[in-house]
Amino acid sequence: MTTRDEAWQIVCEYVKSDILRRHMLAVEACMRAYARHYGEDEETWATIGVLHDFDFEIHPTLEQHPQDGAPILRARGVPEEIIYSILSHADHLQDTSPRRLLRERALVAVDELSGLTTAVALVRPSKSIFDVDVAAVKKKWKDKAFARAVNRQEIAHNTDALGVPLDEHIARVIKALQDNADALGLRGTPSAPPAA
């Protein structure tokens, strides 16, 4: 079994961008939160989350990512079940690697949403995830010019496939990012609570 720390070593070898590394840490945090929520194996879910985009810098196209990363993971001894879950996060591979397990549905549900939520935090004056709530994410969700690369329909579809109400899903992702704010660079300078 590949440990989460071994997975992170692979990430550090192949990913030089701090932004991409933080994205994978954010997805890992969300996967851990969902594993705890469902009573699943947290380390396996975390390993999948941290590795899911490890090859994106070297394989940045749909013709390559993530399928061309699979041989690298195999050579590193990553179990096939983890590789399969990583492959399943790609919509273009659903014919060969359809999502079968809860963790695979969770991965695609948190992937884009963690990015959108992070973007919401970073445009706040405080740059703090602690100044983000469900309403703030939903407001930016409606603004199609904001984080326009984020596919809102895909998030909604994948959240529905996970079987979680959208507001609950957003709240869980926010909480996971808050719990890991320092590692994600999202602590910022939170606003003071309003005076009573």
CA angle 101, 43, 130 (to 5 degrees): 95
The answer to whether residues 167 and 134 touch, using CB atoms and an 8 Å cutoff, is: yes
Q: Does some domain include residue 190? A: no
pLDDT one-digit tens code per residue, 58-102: 999 999 999 999 999 999 999 999 999 999 999 999 999 999 999
Domain that includes residue 121, residue range = 4-184
The answer to whether residues 151 and 91 touch, using CB atoms and an 8 Å cutoff, is: no
CATH number at residue 80: 1.10.3210
pLDDT one-digit tens code per residue, 141-156: 999 999 999 999 999 9
The answer to whether residues 134 and 122 touch, using CB atoms and an 8 Å cutoff, is: no
Token pair for residue 143? 């603004």
Q: Does some domain include residue 87? A: yes
Q: Which CA distances in Å does 82 have to 7, 43, 44, 49, 168?
A: 11, 11, 8, 10, 27
Q: Does some domain include residue 194? A: no
Q: Does some domain include residue 13? A: yes
pTM for the full predicted model:
0.95
